[in-house]
Amino acid sequence: MSDQFEPVIIGFTCNWCSYRAADMAGTARMKYAPNIRLIRLMCSGRLDPTFVLKAFAGGADGVMITGCHPGDCHYVEQNYKALRRFIILKKTLTQFGIEPGRLKLLWASAAEGAIFTDEVNKFVEQVRELGPLQWPTSGGGLERMFAVPEHMLVKEVTA
Amino acid sequence: MSTNGKPKFAMYWAAACGGCEIAVLNIHEKILDVDANFEVVFWPVAMDAKYKDVEAMEDGSILLTLFNGAIRNDENEYMAKLMRQKSKILVAFGSCANEGCMPALANLYNINEIIDTAFTTPTTDNPQNIRPNTSYSVPEGELHIPTLFPAVRTLDQVVPVDYYMPGCPPESHQIAAVIDLVIQVLQGKAELPPAGSVIGAGGSTVCDDCPRTRNEKKIKKFERIQNIMIDPDLCILEQGVLCSGPATRSGCTALCPKAGSPCIGCYGPAEGAEDYGSRLMTAVASVIDSNDPAEIERIFEGIPDPVGQFYRFNLAGSLLRFSKSAWKG
């Protein structure tokens, strides 16, 4: 065991392309970093930004959104919606102080197992470089944030 | 304090603007029903009572407390805990108590930035660069002022809440309806809704109450409302002005869109939306009329302050709650 930082990455895959890409990587015995936890959606268009925020608020260090290549969506054009959500989400997260490098969008077809593994590995290294996020809503950070020293507590204030 | 046997009513403001109190007074002659059915024991804006009077009350002796305002400092927190302890029914009243509202936009900055803004900007006359201390010794003794927390919290992030009544402020007709209901419950003519319910609001979105015509939305450019003439009958979002109606809970009867102004989201997340901003981002991303990344970026440049836009009322109640600089400094 090395003591380097191991980021927790949540990856969203679509049923028809990117999940198949991950599947292909698996059946072809291609290796990729175990830091990513994949969650399969039917379509990248199902990706509610809530999922991404919940991942970060729950302790993830990075989130990867994947889907079919533009024009290949099995639900016609829902991956374009995912693209637009990704762009506005990234802008919003930046304002929250979450580095844009912690969010990635990847198009991968069912035949692109090798691309999928490459990109996952690259993303894991990129997030490792950024370091832990440790949003205080996970892991007891809130208690520390709102703990007021006893001597500072207001016992009685006139209204 | 004399007691006349009527159920006790209290209203308190924490980090709030006072608009919620005005909204309660705006129920006009219904306020007489409140007086006829309740004994008002604590309401700093309307009557003289001290915190120590509340401290002296028996636990659970206040039937109904409307708590407005967010939790910004330790005094707010102390009062939230005190009112919880003394009240049977604690209602998070208004947007601040529900989801943080305007005070929570300060969650984008850390305390030093907030204090600097308040005490050193050009509009402040402060040549000695004085900063507030939370305690200060004078010959008469030690003075204390409340300590700011690193971020604003909602009421239910501090104490358990029985009911949620959204709005900035809650609409007076909704307040009157809720007061009517509570009075009917007291008279045994009605039952309270299940604990944890949102009261005094609808279960749908503002769009559902909006009379404007809706077609398929295709937005190529976001407009500022002052730069265009708003068509009086057409959906405001369709005209390129960002309207928060699709993400916002109904209950206000779509007052702003009816008056030609976009919904700004004061009634909070629609039923089932866990994160208000996510719901609004989803809606907005769906109506952008482009599939080209560069063009999409360009269109989104029309939203220069996304957090302020998507979480105007909801930052403290959102999943992330605050920006990194608020907690990291």
Testing the interface with B: which of A96, A134, A138, A144 to mutate, by most B Cβ within 10 A? A96
ipTM over 0.85: yes
Superfamily (CATH H level) for B8-102+151-186? NADH:ubiquinone oxidoreductase-like, 20kDa subunit (3.40.50.700)
| Interface A:B, Cβ pairs < 8 A | 123
Q: Considering only CB atoms, which chain A residues are within 8 Å of B304?
A: none
Closest CB to B278: pick one of A48, A98, A158. A48
Closest CB to B293: pick one of A54, A87, A146. A87
Q: What is the pLDDT of residue B1?
A: 47
Average pLDDT over residues A47-65: 97
H or E segment and range at residue B277: helix B276-287
DSSP chain A: ---S----EEEEEETTTHHHHHHHHHHTT----TTEEEEEES-GGG--HHHHHHHHHTT-SEEEEEEPPTT--TTSSHHHHHHHHHHHHHHHHHHTT--GGGEEEEE--TT-HHHHHHHHHHHHHHHHHH-----TTTTTHHHHHT---GGG-------
The pLDDT confidence band at residue A151, using thresholds 50, 70 and 90, is: low
Q: What is the pLDDT of residue A157?
A: 55
Q: Is residue A3 part of a domain?
A: no
The nearest CA of chain B is from the CA of A91 a distance in Å of 7
Q: What is the pLDDT of residue B123?
A: 86
What residues 231-250 of chain B have any CB closer than 8 A to a CB of chain A? none
Domain of A23 in residue numbering reads as 9-152
Closest CB to A157: pick one of B75, B153, B310. B75
pLDDT > 70: percent of chain A: 91
Residue A96: give its domain's CATH number.
3.40.50
Q: What is the mean pLDDT of chain A?
A: 92
Closest CB to B323: pick one of A54, A95, A154. A95
Per-residue pLDDT reduced to its tens digit, A9-26: 999 999 999 999 999 999
- Domain ranges in chain B are 8-102+151-186, 111-149, 206-325
Q: Is residue A41 part of a domain?
A: yes
Q: Is residue A51 part of a domain?
A: yes
Per-residue pLDDT reduced to its tens digit, B146-177: 989 999 999 999 999 999 999 999 999 999 99
Q: Is residue A158 part of a domain?
A: no
Q: What does the alpha-carbon distance between residue B58 and residue B169 come to, in Å, rounded to a whole number? A: 30
CB atoms near residue A144 (< 10 Å): 11
Q: Considering only CB atoms, which chain B residues are within 8 Å of A87?
A: 285, 293, 296-297, 300
Residues of chain B under the 70 pLDDT cut: 1-3
Q: Is residue A157 part of a domain?
A: no
Q: Is residue A4 part of a domain?
A: no
What residues 215-234 of chain B have any CB closer than 8 A to a CB of chain A? none
Q: Which of B194-214 are b and which e, b meaning 16 or more Cβ less than 10 Å from the residue's Cβ?
A: eeeebbbbbeebbbebbebee
B64 with B7: CB under 8 angstroms? Answer: yes
Q: What is the pLDDT of residue A147?
A: 82
Q: What does the alpha-carbon distance between residue B157 and residue A38 come to, in Å, rounded to a whole number? A: 31
Q: What does the alpha-carbon distance between residue B327 and residue B329 come to, in Å, rounded to a whole number? A: 6
**How many independent structural domains does chain A possess?**
1
The verdict on a CB contact (< 8 Å) between A87 and B77 is no
| Residue B45 touches partner A, C-beta closer than 8 Å | no
Q: Model pTM?
A: 0.93
pLDDT > 90: percent of chain A: 84
Testing the interface with A: which of B281, B292, B298 to mutate, by most A Cβ within 10 A? B281
Q: Is residue A2 part of a domain?
A: no
The pLDDT confidence band at residue A43, using thresholds 50, 70 and 90, is: very high
Average pLDDT over residues A85-106: 97
CA angle B293, B297, B301 (to 5 degrees): 170
